[in-house]
Amino acid sequence: MRHPLFVLVALSCLCISAVPQSPTSDDQLMAKARAAYDAPFARNLAALDCAVQFDWKAHLAESFGTLPPAAVLMAEKLQTVNHRVSVDHNQATVSPYPRKPDFSGAEHAPQLEQLEQVFIAITSSGLNAWIPSSSNVILPVGNTKYKFERLSSGYKLTMKGENVEGTVMLEPDLRVTSGVMQLPQPLQFSTSFTTGPQGFALASVKTVADSEVTFAYTYQSVDGIQIPDTVTVTPATTGKWQYRLTDCKVVKFVKVQLLPHS
């Protein structure tokens, strides 16, 4: 069974386009919705690269209440491993820095290896869940039929196309609040957005498929671009994982103007 995050990211890669029943009104409404969101990957952000800060002692203490001596030693060993994350519009990749840790010969080596792998999976999932909204593909693009329906509570957006089918609910100001997808895999999600200097920025998203996971975000500005500062990942069956992005660098697309031949 696939993790619900990967379903959400897969949905973001499906290009859904405008073939509305009322071309003018739906086109205008979609254009207004797109303009309302802070989607740096849809503007000039090419990639970002950050250090990942995580407090292993605090995490294990919160998860287990008290830390026995063995857990303290494991936390101290894990804390010596540094990580960086690179993110583009397709995926987030978390890697040990400057090299992969060698736990061979260490006490509790198998557990250390397992926790290192879980950490990489959890931290990358938090930023993978941010990519759809930061790329402006939480709304339809591409060539699947869609339709807006005006409700007293806001809007219902239905979509159907090749390997994609579902319904998304929006507030009157066009913030997405929830969705139910039948294809490519059954998935329910709910979202909340905060208003930032560039528009609506994802504050949280909860996915429910095979299991339930909640992702939450605060933001920092780097070179005029809003990117996550603190990311909190809360699976339904385990404790939360919270980390910060520091020493961040962003890469922007450079516009090249071609001069006419003389």
Coarse DSSP helix, strand, coil percentages of the chain, rounded to the nearest 5 percent = 25, 40, 30
Residue 258: per-residue pLDDT: 58
Residue 185: per-residue pLDDT: 82
**What is the side-by-side strand order in the sheet with 225-235?**
92-97, 82-87, 45-53, 241-252, 225-235, 212-222, 199-208, 187-196, 176-183, 164-170, 154-161, 145-151
Q: Tokens 């939480």, residue?
A: 138
**Residue ranges for the chain with pLDDT beneath 50:** 1-7, 9-23
- The number of angstroms, rounded, from the C-alpha of 34 to the middle of its chain's C-alpha atoms is 18
In 3D space, the residue among 134, 64, 54, 51 whose CA is nearest the CA of residue 98 turns out to be: 51
Alpha-carbon span 41 to 51, nearest angstrom? 20
Mean pLDDT for the chain overall: 87
Alpha-carbon span 52 to 126, nearest angstrom? 12
> What backbone phi and psi angles, to 5 degrees, belong to 83?
-135, 150
Q: Do 146 and 157 form a contact (C-beta atoms < 8 A)?
A: yes
Alpha-carbon span 13 to 144, nearest angstrom? 13
Q: Which residues contact 42 (CB under 8 A, 6 or more apart)?
A: 34, 134, 135, 136
DSSP 8-state class, residue 42: G
104 by DSSP, 3-state: which? coil
At 59-115, the pLDDT tens digits run: 998 887 888 888 899 999 999 999 999 999 999 999 999 999 999 888 889 999 999
**Domain ranges across the chain:** 4-251
DSSP 8-state class, residue 80: T
